[in-house]
Amino acid sequence: MKTANAVSADETEKTAKAAKPAKTSSIRKRRIAGTVVIYIILTIISIIWLIPVVWVVLTSFRAEPGAFTSNFIPEHWTLDNYKSLWANAVFPFKAWFFNTLWVSCISCVISTFLTLSVAYVLSRLRFAFRKPYMNFALILGMFPGFMSMIAVYFILKAVGLTQNLWALIIQYSAGSGLGFYISKGFFDTIPRSLDEAARIDGATNGQVFLHIIMPNSGPIVVYTALMAFMAPWNDYIFANVIMGDNYNKWTVAIGLYQMIQKNNVYKYFTQFNAGCVCVGVPIMVLFFCLQKFYVAGVTGGAVKG
């Protein structure tokens, strides 16, 4: 709300500068009114969007246990939820956090590399099964995954990988050959003349990919990596099937979900929220820093085209 007055004064000045002499003052007034309305709408939207987030943060500092309270602001404040979360004997959150971080980092590196190389190959090279592969990849991701979970579990079991963090890494990286669409769109917009010049100088396809395409694709690399990094923090279902009862190897998603089951929710709800903050904050910071790459990534290079 604070913005309304301060900014509209600022606005008037700006509009005044920008306004051409021909424009009448009524148009100017309308524009100011429009700006104020937009500010009001944006403020309301922001409040709506922030309430759940603020609620999670406030609950994480709440001293009273329990999930269902009518008061938004805690009656008593505490840091104990964080302390007991990180030193918890019942729920080893610390181990879960670093498990997830490890899985995230490794699968992020693997799948970023695989996705980008597939995208490059499909963008630049022409070979027999290229079109079929692209159509195939488009529809393959659309099968509801729940039922194939059990098959994946037994395939991993056959190679002795259940209850192992590598199983999760394989699971999260295996599909990376399918997620090339956005990066391929981006590569398509990098002028071919660049790599042709390099090839005349004798560069191989591999060298073109590493030395010409990659340095020109900052946003898409960041975008792909960011998406791959976030997946393990969100996935509950697959991780649960693969990890089973080995709870020292759990990821935070399974662990947090466990905390809000019927028998645990009263006792652990505030710790659960503290856990959410611990998971959410790093991802949020990453997101803020890399926002512009994300935008460039999702829109592919299409903007330039």
Partner 1 sequence: MEKDGKALKKGKVNSLPKLTFKDKEAGSYFIMGFANFADHQIIKGFIFLAAEIAYIAFMIMNGGDLLHGLYTLGTKKQGWVTEPGKLLPVLQSGDNSMLFLLYGIMTLVITGVFIVVYLVNISSARKLLSLRRAGKRPNTFAQDFRSLGDTNFHGAMLTLPMLGILFVIVLPIIFMILIAFTNYDSNHQVPGNLFHWIGFTNFAAILGANKLLSYTFMHVIGWTLVWALIATFSNYFLGIIVALMINYKEIHLKAMWRSILVTTIAIPQFISLLVMQNMFSMYGPINELLVRLGLGRVDFLVNNATNARIVVLIVNLWIGIPYTMLITSGILMNIPSEMYESAKIDGASPVQIFFHITLPYVLFVTAPYLITQFIANLNNFNVIFLLSGGGPTTTDYFQAGKTDLLVTWLYKLTVNNYDYNLASVIGIFSFIICAVTSLIAYHHTASYKREEEFQ
Partner 2 sequence: MTGKKIVSLGLVCALTASMAAMGTGCKNTTATSSKGTLSQQSSASSATSSALGEQGAKITLWGSADDQKMLKELAGDFVKKYADKKYTVTVNVQDEDKAQAAILKDVDAAADVFDVPHDQLGALVEAGACYPNTVFAKDVQANDDANAVQASTYKGTLYGYPRSVQSIFLFYNKSVLSADDVKTMDGMLKKAKGAGKSCGWDMTNLYDTAPFYLANGVKLFGDKGTDVNGSTFNSPEAVAVAKYISGLKANGLKNVNDGDAEKLLKDGSLVAQATGSWKSDAFKKALGSNYAVAKLPTINVGGAEKQIVSFAGYTLYLVNAHSKFPQAAMQLAEYLTEKDNQLKAFKDRKVVPANKEAASDSSVTGDETVAAQLEQTKTSIPMPSITQMTNFWSDSSMAYTKDIFEGKIKQADIQTKLNAWNDSLKATVKK
Binding site for partner 2 (CB under 8 A): 64-70, 89-91, 127, 150, 153-154, 157-160, 162, 241, 244-247, 258, 261-264, 266-267
Q: Does 216 bind partner 1 (CB under 8 A)?
A: no
| Token pair listed for 249 | 């190897």
Residues 76-95 that bind partner 1 (CB under 8 A): none
Residues 242-271 that bind partner 1 (CB under 8 A): 253, 256-257, 260
Q: Is 62 helix (H, G, I), strand (E, B) or coil?
A: strand
Say how far apart CA 252 and CA 141 lie, in whole Å. Answer: 25
Q: Does 178 bind partner 1 (CB under 8 A)?
A: yes
Closest distance of CB 262 from partner 2, Å: 6
Q: Does 52 bind partner 1 (CB under 8 A)?
A: yes
| Token pair listed for 80 | 């104990």
Closest distance of CB 79 from partner 1, Å: 20
User: Using CB distances below 5 to 8 A depending on partner kind, what does residue 65 bind out of partner 1, partner 2, none?
Assistant: partner 2
Say how far apart CA 257 and CA 235 lie, in whole Å. Answer: 11
Q: Does 239 bind partner 1 (CB under 8 A)?
A: no
Say how far apart CA 184 and CA 216 lie, in whole Å. Answer: 13
| Token pair listed for 144 | 């509801």
Could you say which of 44, 53, 87, 197 contacts partner 1 (CB under 8 A)? 53
Q: Does 1 bind partner 1 (CB under 8 A)?
A: no
φ and ψ at residue 128, rounded to 5 degrees:
-55, -50
Residues 134-163 that bind partner 1 (CB under 8 A): 135, 137-140, 142-144, 146-152, 154-155
Q: Does 44 bind partner 1 (CB under 8 A)?
A: no
C-alpha neighbours within 13 Å on the C-beta side of residue 64: 12
Neighbours of 40 (CB within 10 A): 13
Neighbours of 68 (CB within 10 A): 7
Q: Does 296 bind partner 1 (CB under 8 A)?
A: yes
